[in-house]
Amino acid sequence: MNRIRVLSDDVANKIAAGEVVENPASAVKELLENALDAESTEITVEIKSGGKSYISLADNGTGMSRDDAVLAIERHSTSKIRSASDLEKVVTLGFRGEAIPSIASVSRFSITTCERDALIGTFVKVDGGKLVNVVEVGRPPGTTVEVRNLFYNVPARRKYLRSVEQEAAAICRLVDAYALAYPGVYFRLVHNEREVLLAPKTDRMEERLAKVLGKKTAEQFIPFRYEEKGVVAWGFAGHPSVTRTNRMGQLLYVNNRPVVSPPLYYAVMLSYKTLVPKGRYPLAVLFVEIAPEFVDMNVHPTKKEVRFKNEWAIRDIVLRGISRALKEADLAPHFLSDQYEKPVEAKGDFEKALARHSEPKAPGAWRERESAGGERMSRQAEPETEAELPMKMRRRSSLRFLSQLSDSYILAEDEEGLVVVDQHAAHERVLYEKIMQGLKGGSCPAQRLLLPTTVEVSSGESFVLKENAEFLRRIGFEVRPFGERTFIVEAVPPFFLMGDIKKAVHDFLTAAQESRHERDSEREKVLVRSACRSAVMAHDRMKAEECEALLARLMSAESPHTCPHGRPTMIKMSLKEIEKRFMRR
Amino acid sequence: MNFTAQKADLVSALQKTHAIVASKSTLSILANVLIETNEGKLVFTTTNLQVGIRCESPANITAPGATTLPARFLFAIVRELPLGDVLVEVNDENVASIRSGEAFFRLLGISKEEFPKVAEFEGKPLFSMPQKSLKEMLRKTSFAVSREDPRHFLTGMYFSISEGRLLLVGTDGRRLSRISHEIATEEGYTGNFIVPIKAIEELEKMIGEDGDVHVYLSGNQAGFRLGTDLLVSLLIDARFPDYEGVIPKTGAVTASLNREEFAATVRQAALVTSEQSSSVKLNFTSNELVISAHSPEVGEARVVMPAKFSGEPLAIGFNPTCLRDVLNCMDEEEITLQLTDSVSPGVVSGEGSFLHLIMPMRLPEGEI
Ligand SMILES: Nc1ncnc2c1ncn2[C@@H]1O[C@H](COP(=O)(O)OP(=O)(O)OP(=O)(O)O)[C@@H](O)[C@H]1O
Ligand SMILES: [Mg+2]
């Protein structure tokens, strides 16, 4: 059956123009998307020399008729859209009719394909964009595309390809990303005759997660699912104790298409704001499902960027979804667990290569697309059955005070074993929530000072201080101008009495300047965090009752497991772990 | 060094000196008590480098000498001994043998040469006064001193001498206690210094009802001699702030309150406040004081007591703990509370020279 048509110039001109194939990984991406669009359930990718010398992608999808296979080589030939209006509600991964011609023009290219009900298949060979021959061949239903000597006729491109290892790592990451989004599809990746990934079909998302990311990593994930205004945000939030120095561990999908999306990264970052340290990135697998009309995929020639009609709303929905899950989960890290010895389970050459060459930028070279396939529906139901998931979702318990260590840590126990609490971090967390609570009701208590403190600031800072005076007042600091660049602090929050006021004001100013461009609610949080930090002093000898009170307040906090700056407030050593160490097990 | 002493005498000397011995210190010599003989007496000295304590006890000295022994162990051992004679022999290696009845202990000491020098104060004291009076003054001021603050002057007691009077001031930044008393001192002497609260706390333990206290000053140290006991403290090297400027001259509202009733009413209202940082609201209306409190987690309280007052009705917030601290340190039946407005300090006074300032807390928004 012939399905492909060439788009009219009118429609073709509306498609984001530019370079489609930049490197072997982007060629693999395009071919993968075609296979997924063709409703394949088995996909095998084979590459040699990082894809530089050979790429083949075999699927068991719909296949193409002889006419279609030839037409597919033409620019703007596609079976996926017809009119300009289709561009506004794209439901397939491909839609431009650009991928095959682009790859075929820069390589020695062939398609072997057979339609499902056809008796005989077609072999089409193209060299540097020129049709070489078309012959009939036998092939089981499906399509194999082979790409040899990519960029052989574009020396400038070829010269700038990265090392075999780097290109292979990029392809591995890419196949991983798609494999995660399509657990119902069998994926196999072979590099230089070595199998790198074999992911059998499954209807259990967490099985696929374990296959792709490693079992240990997968077990740390906290599943979430949140729906609002018809938008579904679901996926798996990494444990805050497992972080990376870049965003490569964050896989984002919009309608099952892997994407690079600043607003979504931002939402993930915000959800972990007080849970991970600055400059560290948690792991996350996030799927956003949204009606196709509300998202524009036609932004960038490589399709990796998306534009939401209502970016802030999406961002907030994701933020709420992940934050809620994190709040409910027991996040205290276990300090004898393996993750502290080896942060991520290494999977093989590529994963190692990837760790070595981790790009500081974005999650790799993919851009994808979603299929309208049925497996998406079945997967959608997955996270509902959270109870079956092996993830840690225990509710929190209360802590019993044992002793204080080195005037800095509180030793306590819960039903699982020993808990070590960083009293400084715990105190910060408690104060932070107290102030945030107070702010909700208008303002926090303030204790007036008998001996007001004067603080001198720079003229720039004096402006910032004036700008923030009302907010400071609400959290309990009453600060009044007292001459050109001098301010007088007349009241402080009661818990701050022993704090270093001058330092607090300066820290506050730094935080205020750094968070200038944030939204109000975000900026306020940053400022409150800075105030809490200044209020708390390390090395406090505490009485037993004080320790107990702190523990109780900590455990009734909303997010007891981390301080507002994202460091853990407590670590656990379960009895099991202790027994193991004493070789009793 | 050999001596025989009564268990009770040793216990009382060690009790006084062992309080300041560091439980963990990087300098192991500071865990020891220096024991010296001096004309039929034993002299015990301990120090933590900030505060030093020296005291004496009678003993039968058979061989004079000096050593240092671990204070905690020595105290624990002596305390357990039966009443009666304790025989102590210390050899040249600073190993002490302690015998009493059937019990025998051997303790390893450190040479006295390693013990830091603790100042001796000879000659004329700076001033003298009855111990009882200083004790009373400290009781009314030391509670207001901050236990921890980066502004070091707030962690000490301010001593100021002029016109034959000693003035003590203690503050933690939200309240201030001030009291004065006449002293015996050189005519026309004027001066002041700040003693760390840690030393004041020890002094309060040692000071008694009888006899005089003689106070010495030398360099950056002060000495308090109480009979044969001596407490030496480094001074806080800071300027005490001009606290007099913050004492309101006249109050808009002057209330006369029954001290115990006032304290009880504050306590009742504070029952619903959950934390130290909470506040109670004092609302003065015609002949009534309404004390109320509320906390979002617990609930609300409202208690009324009669009050004689002059001036316009006024509402003001205070920390209930601060209020109760001052009321508890006073003895008068009636006390006076003077207020200016809801942001200026409240002034509590009684009959004598005692004066106490408390800074108000901001009342929650929407409440007047
Ligand atoms: N593996 C495949 N199985 C079946 N049909 C395929 C396969 N690969 C390509 N096709 C057909 O070839 C057409 C052209 O593919 P091509 O990738 O060039 O464009 P596209 O997928 O429509 O859009 P895009 O350029 O966005 O990828 C597709 O529309 C599809 O009909
Ligand atoms: Mg395509």
Q: Domain with A148 in it: what CATH number? A: 3.30.565.10
Could you read off the pLDDT of A136-179 as tens digits, one per residue?
999 999 999 999 999 999 998 898 888 888 898 889 989 999 99
B173: which chain A residues are within 8 Å (Cβ-Cβ)? Answer: 449-451, 497
The reply to whether A258 and A325 lie within a common domain is yes
The reply to whether A388 and A430 lie within a common domain is yes
| pTM (two decimals) | 0.60
Residue A245: give its domain's CATH number. 3.30.230.10
A207 belongs to a structural domain:
no
> Ligand 1 mean position to A302 CA, how many Å?
14
The reply to whether A140 and A271 lie within a common domain is no
Q: Which domain holds residue A512?
A: 368-573
Site to substitute for ligand 1 among A15, A65, A78, most atoms within 8 A of C-beta:
A78
Ligand 2 (single-atom ion) residues, CB below 5 Å: A 34, 94, 99
Residue A382: give its domain's CATH number. 3.30.1370.100
CA-to-CA dists, residue A122 to A76, A79, A402, B25, angstroms: 21, 18, 76, 87
pLDDT at A345 > cutoff 70: no
Quote the minimal CA–CA distance from A449 to chain B in Å. Answer: 5
Q: State the pLDDT at residue B303.
A: 93
Pocket of ligand 1 (CB under 6 A): A 3-4, 30, 33-35, 37-38, 59, 61-64, 72, 77-80, 94-100, 143
Q: State the pLDDT at residue B276.
A: 61
B319: which chain A residues are within 8 Å (Cβ-Cβ)? Answer: 447, 494
Band (A372; pLDDT cuts 50, 70, 90): very low
What is the residue type of B9?
Answer: D
Across the interface, whether the CB atoms of B241 and A446 are under 8 A apart is answered: no
Band (B286; pLDDT cuts 50, 70, 90): confident
Q: State the pLDDT at residue B25.
A: 61
Band (A338; pLDDT cuts 50, 70, 90): very low
A291-300, B205-214, B324-333: least confidently modelled range: A291-300
Atom of ligand 1 nearest to the CA of A3: 31
Q: State the pLDDT at residue A511.
A: 83
Q: State the pLDDT at residue B137.
A: 97
A9-13, A269-273, A336-340: least confidently modelled range: A336-340
A518-532, A571-585, B262-276: least confidently modelled range: A518-532
Band (A53; pLDDT cuts 50, 70, 90): very high
What is the residue type of B119?
Answer: A
Looking at the structure, give the CATH architecture of the domain made up of residues B247-358.
Roll (3.10)
The reply to whether A416 and A286 lie within a common domain is no
Q: In whole angstroms, what is the distance from residue A387 CA to residue A391 CA?
A: 9
The reply to whether A386 and A527 lie within a common domain is yes
pLDDT at A353 > cutoff 80: no
Mean pLDDT of chain A: 83
Cross-strand bridge partners of residue B184: B128
pLDDT at A255 > cutoff 50: yes
Q: State the pLDDT at residue A164.
A: 87
A441 belongs to a structural domain:
yes
The reply to whether A534 and A396 lie within a common domain is yes
Band (B114; pLDDT cuts 50, 70, 90): very high
Mean pLDDT of chain B: 91
The reply to whether A423 and A303 lie within a common domain is no
CA angle A529, A422, A247 (to 5 degrees): 60
Q: State the pLDDT at residue A577.
A: 84
Nearest CA to A57 among A76, A81, A40?
A40
Across the interface, whether the CB atoms of B343 and A437 are under 8 A apart is answered: no
Could you read off the pLDDT of A193-231 as tens digits, one per residue?
888 899 999 999 989 998 888 887 788 889 999 999 889
What is the residue type of A469?
Answer: A
Residues 6 or more apart whose CB falls under 8 angstroms from that of A548 comprise A401
pLDDT at A371 > cutoff 70: no
A166 belongs to a structural domain:
yes
Band (B318; pLDDT cuts 50, 70, 90): very high
Q: State the pLDDT at residue A342.
A: 34
Could you read off the pLDDT of A497-528 as tens digits, one per residue?
777 888 888 888 888 887 777 777 777 888 88
- Three-state DSSP at B198 gives helix
Band (A329; pLDDT cuts 50, 70, 90): confident
The reply to whether A166 and A294 lie within a common domain is no
CATH class of segment(s) B2-114 = alpha beta
- If you average pLDDT over residues A400-413, what whole number do you get? 89
Q: Where are the alpha helices (DSSP H) in A98-214?
A: 99-104, 155-159, 164-181, 205-213
Domain boundary among A202, A234, A256: A202
Q: Would you kindly state where each structural domain of chain B is located, as residue ranges?
A: 2-114, 127-173+184-239, 247-358
Looking at the structure, give the CATH architecture of the domain made up of residues B127-173+184-239.
Roll (3.10)
- If you average pLDDT over residues B122-133, what whole number do you get? 94
- If you average pLDDT over residues B321-332, what whole number do you get? 94
Q: State the pLDDT at residue A540.
A: 67
The reply to whether A428 and A468 lie within a common domain is yes
Q: Please check whether residue B153 touches A, CB under 8 A.
A: no
The reply to whether A491 and A519 lie within a common domain is yes
Instruction: Report percent pLDDT > 70 for chain B.
Output: 96
A212 belongs to a structural domain:
no
Integer Rg of chain B from CA: 25
Q: State the pLDDT at residue A376.
A: 32
A193 belongs to a structural domain:
yes
Nearest CA to B319 among B345, B341, B340?
B345
Nearest CA to B178 among B254, B244, B110?
B244
Best of A427, A439, A447 to disrupt the B interface by mutation (most B CBs within 10 Å)? A447
Whether A447 contacts A494, CB under 8 Å = yes
CA-to-CA dists, residue A318 to A426, A449, B115, B143, angstroms: 27, 44, 66, 52
Nearest CA to B199 among B240, B231, B163, B175?
B231
SS (H, E, C) A183-243: CCCEEEEEECCEEEEEECCCCCHHHHHHHHHCHHHHHHCEEEEEEECCEEEEEEECCCCCE
Domain boundary among A353, A377, A399: A353
A280-289, A508-517, B79-88: least confidently modelled range: A508-517
The reply to whether A331 and A248 lie within a common domain is yes
Same fold, B2-114 and B247-358: yes
Band (B91; pLDDT cuts 50, 70, 90): very high
Whether B292 contacts B283, CB under 8 Å = yes
Find the residue in B nearest to A442 (Cα).
Answer: B365
Q: How many domains would you assign to chain A? A: 3
Band (A124; pLDDT cuts 50, 70, 90): very high
- Is the C-alpha dihedral spanning A43, A48, A52, A54 positive or negative? negative
